Amino acid sequence: MAITLISVEQAHALQANGLPLFDIREPAEWAASGVPYGARTVTKSELERDTCHHITGPEQAFMLSCGGGKRAPSCAEALAGQGYLTIYVVQEGMRGWLASGLPVQAYVADDFTLRYARQIQLPQIGLSGQQRLAKARVLMVGAGGLGSPCAFYLAAAGVGHLTLIDDDTVALSNLQRQILHTNDNIGELKVNSAKARLNALNPSIDVEIHNDRVTRSNFSNYIKNIDLVIDGTDNFNTRYVISDACSELGIPWVYGAVYRFEGQVSVFHASKPEQRGLCYRCLFPEGDTESSAPNCTEAGVLGVAPGLIGVLQATEALKCLLDIGETLHGRLLHVDLLGMRFHETKLTADPECLACGQFAV
């Protein structure tokens, strides 16, 4: 195998003889300065991950160009490691191409490519992962303290369909932590305020809203064709409804809870049909009543606590949807903000759990 450094003039000459030139910069860079005339545009991360989609085989020779000549050599090394034999690296990159007055063509980037450019360049996501997010359908129960930051980041990340359920209106006391809403929204339905704010951030996504309270009788209607559920509530009873329904259908869901200066996050993915346990009831077997489960109104909460937990929930949701990294499935993460400490507890399925265990009915 051989990696050869060449000048922009040599690259132009080789290109005229039919050797392909790949501009491996990012979409925002292509849009700002154009690309070498006739060059193929593919980001460095995308080319390294899906090389066979762009290069016919190890014997095909090709050229790599970046912005100033720093990224192309590392990309060449990565591709050489995959077995590609003849790689030319344009030393000065696009900067040298422009300085030499060589022909350039405009690059017109679509909204999708530019909006998610920083995610697309991540090797674990790429264009295919971003397209996967665009097709994802997520149900967010609650548009308050947890739902606000979580929904915000999921919308920004490009989750294509968000369904929000909440039956409350915006109050002045909400604004200390519920960042989806503003002073002008006081008295407005939270779902209406949330939809307007999320679509203002990202008009390309579909935000479906329901001014409703989740119950055992209606929740099954809301989780049809849903890929993931996120708990943004502040009471045990609703969590049992979410957990039982998701266990019944094998739908993963992201749990989050806050109390004063503390918070918890986990991921549950039980499935009764597949005999796969570990649901919320495995952790908290007995159902508590509304009166025994203190909420923010009764206990108080530091405003940033649901912000942090909600962002962690969004992170877990994105990992689940993209099937990347290690989720919190089987682990309960506890956050102590006063001491700024994170503690993890390993969770195990309860074989006698009434919802997902071997005796579940």
Alpha helices in the chain (DSSP H): 8-16, 27-33, 44-49, 71-81, 93-99, 111-115, 117-120, 126-134, 147-157, 190-201, 219-222, 236-249, 280-283, 296-299, 304-322
Q: Which of 66, 279, 296, 353 is catalytic?
A: 296
Backbone phi, psi, residue 41, to 5°: -100, 120
Answer whether 322's CB lies under 8 Å from 132's CB: yes
Burial of residue 132 (number of CB atoms within 10 Å: 0-12, 13-18, 19+):
middle
DSSP 335: E
Answer whether 111's CB lies under 8 Å from 204's CB: yes
How far apart, in whole angstroms, are the C-alpha atoms of residue 347 and residue 284?
Answer: 11
Answer whether 35's CB lies under 8 Å from 23's CB: yes
The answer to whether residue 75 is catalytic is no
What single-letter amino acid sits at 167?
D
Catalytic residues: 296
